[in-house]
Chains A and B, each alone.
Chain A
Amino acid sequence: MVTKEMLGLNIEVNEEGFMLDTSQWTPELAVEIAKAEGIELTDAHWQVINWCRQIAGVLGVSPTLRQITKGAGVSTKELFKLFPKGPAKKVAKIAGLGKPQGCV
């Protein structure tokens, strides 16, 4: 675990930059994290991010690719355009949710 300074706040993140405490997340932070990933957030991005945060609150884990496409109403192709190279992982990172994991 490391602490990273973003927008003047001390944010707890893992080695790959995933936030560890989702309650520290703010929309402003999402903009910053996205920038570092080379993504400029638009309304289409926010639709996905907001849905993911909502469902993660229910599930207790980051949603999978299929859950996002079915639930947030975007096609998989579109999702890959919005969040290139592994959208489930990228959305999770920007939305301040945990990294999608297996059991080992």
Chain B
Amino acid sequence: MKRILILGGGTAGTIVANKLSQELSPDEWKITVVDQSETHLYQPGLLFIPFGIYSENDVKRPRRDYLPRDVEVVISEIEIIEPDKSQVRIKKDKRTLRYDYLIITTGSRIVPEETPGLTEQEWHKSIFDFYTPAGSTALAKKLRTWEGGRLVLNIAEMPIKCPVAPLEFMFLADWFFHEEGIRDRVDLTLVTPLSGAFTKPRAAERLGDILEQKNIKVVPEFNIMEVDPDANKIISYDEQEVAYDLLVSIPINMGSEVIERSGLGDELAFIPTDKHTLKAQKFDNVFVLGDATNLPSSKAGSVAHFEGDVFIKNFLRYIDGLDLKPTFDGHANCYIESGFGKGFLIDFNYDVEPLPGKFPLPGVGPFSLLQESRMNHWGKVLFRWMYWNILLKGKPMPITAQMSMAGKWM
């Protein structure tokens, strides 16, 4: 009996567990998933909570319901990963789990403590995150009674999970305050360490003026050093200051603490991973998928999904003694809510920036790439159903794992 151990039962871990269970015989393989909580969080839904579109209950489901029955599920914190001994030690019953193959899908998390002033007396009072259920629900409560002022959204540092979320947050905020009838009393400013809201040429060319149209200001190249929660301002390393009444922070994102503890990560606790095969660079029986990698791809559920497709084919070759094929191309596909019932869709990979066109059927759609449409918004709305019922269960989706150029305009 060979053992596969999957650490983390989020988007990537759940997809992989389902695919492995579909492909491998339970008489020969034992698959175990370890996660610290019983609840699976639909992370794309967190964005909608501050605006009262979703509640906390809309984004939570029992984790076990989405994992196959023949997979052992262990709910426990992980103490340490010891790849040299092919074993993992967990907290529950002080067990040591041995493996033949390890799949690390421990994701990424926000670490607001890394920025001085962020989590002091004003945390979840006038300073919020929306990457956690606690943060997004606290912000929802705040926005229900907020009477306007300067709303500043600050990205602490790249990379972040779901790089388009800050833009979507601002678009939805514009729509929300408009609906509340106080848009004229709200000043929206996006403060980013990047050179602008859009950094890729075609996206910048097609979407560049949308922020101006929506009256959302941008402060570029701002690297936050600290927050002064008493003076209500954020301060950069080169001593720029931006004042706020309400600060929405996207704190520094890092890999899981267990990756740090085990000495497996880089400076941000992301694991050095081969960008085309998803094998851990240092270990031959360890694979890394989803946000836990250091790949130059986006940290997003769609990437975890495409990685899952590529991984399973390669893994079945690998266990039969064949070489890994370098087939992962960094493909990502993301809906961007733009408010007022509309949205954008972008599709890109390591080498090809988001381009305009129709998706997934060339020339037909129904979705439009790099263009605002109502259909794109419905795509995002329906995606929650797709996530729970198709994507997590590893069932086929009508999108190929490798990015396609068909239907795109150069």
Q: Which residue of A lies closest to B275 (CB)?
A: A60
Q: Are A101 and B199 in contact, with the CB atoms below 8 A?
A: yes
Residues of chain B within 8 A of A71, CB atoms compared? 266-267
Q: Are A70 and B275 in contact, with the CB atoms below 8 A?
A: no
Q: How large is the interface on B (under 10, 10 to 19, 20 to 34, 35 or more residues)?
A: 35 or more
Q: Is B193 an interface residue (CB 8 A)?
A: yes
Residues of chain B within 8 A of A59, CB atoms compared? 294, 296
Of residues 67 through 104 on chain A, the ones whose CB sits less than 8 Å from some CB of chain B are 67, 70-71, 76-77, 80, 84-86, 88-89, 99-104
Q: Are A85 and B221 in contact, with the CB atoms below 8 A?
A: yes
Residues of chain B within 8 A of A61, CB atoms compared? 296
User: Known contacts A59-B294, A99-B195, A102-B194; is A77 also within 8 Å of B237 by CB?
Assistant: yes
Q: Is A9 an interface residue (CB 8 A)?
A: no
Kindly state the separation between the CA atoms of A66 and B294 in the bound complex, as whole angstroms. 14
Write the nearest CB–CB distance from B264 to chain A, whole angstroms: 15
Write the nearest CB–CB distance from B146 to chain A, whole angstroms: 28
User: Known contacts A60-B296, A66-B268, A80-B238; is A103 also within 8 Å of B225 by CB?
Assistant: no
Q: Using an 8 Å CB-CB cutoff, how does the interface string of B182-218 with A read, 1 for contact, 0 for none?
A: 0000000000011100111001000100000000000
Q: Using an 8 Å CB-CB cutoff, how does the interface string of B257-283 with A read, 1 for contact, 0 for none?
A: 000000000111000100100000000
Kindly state the separation between the CA atoms of A33 and B164 in the bound complex, as whole angstroms. 32
Q: How many A-B residue pairs have CB under 8 A?
A: 73
Of residues 101 through 128 on chain B, the ones whose CB sits less than 8 Å from some CB of chain A are none
Q: Are B195 and A58 in contact, with the CB atoms below 8 A?
A: no
Q: How large is the interface on A (under 10, 10 to 19, 20 to 34, 35 or more residues)?
A: 20 to 34
Q: Is B14 an interface residue (CB 8 A)?
A: no
**Residue from B158, B198, B298 with most neighbouring chain A CB atoms (10 Å):** B158
Q: Is A47 an interface residue (CB 8 A)?
A: no
Residues of chain A within 8 A of B200, CB atoms compared? 101-104
Q: Is A24 an interface residue (CB 8 A)?
A: no
Q: Are B237 and A102 in contact, with the CB atoms below 8 A?
A: no
Q: Are A65 and B157 in contact, with the CB atoms below 8 A?
A: yes
Q: Is A64 an interface residue (CB 8 A)?
A: yes
Kindly state the separation between the CA atoms of A85 and B193 in the bound complex, as whole angstroms. 11
Q: Using an 8 Å CB-CB cutoff, how does the interface string of B328-369 with A read, 1 for contact, 0 for none?
A: 000010101000000000101010001000000000000000
Residues of chain B within 8 A of A89, CB atoms compared? 195, 221
Q: Using an 8 Å CB-CB cutoff, how does the interface string of A33-63 with B read, 1 for contact, 0 for none?
A: 0000000000000000000000000111100
Q: Are A104 and B221 in contact, with the CB atoms below 8 A?
A: no
Q: Is B310 an interface residue (CB 8 A)?
A: no
Q: Which residues of A contact B (CB under 8 A)?
A: 58-61, 64-67, 70-71, 76-77, 80, 84-86, 88-89, 99-104
* Closest CB pairs A-B (n = 3): A70-B267, A104-B203, A61-B296
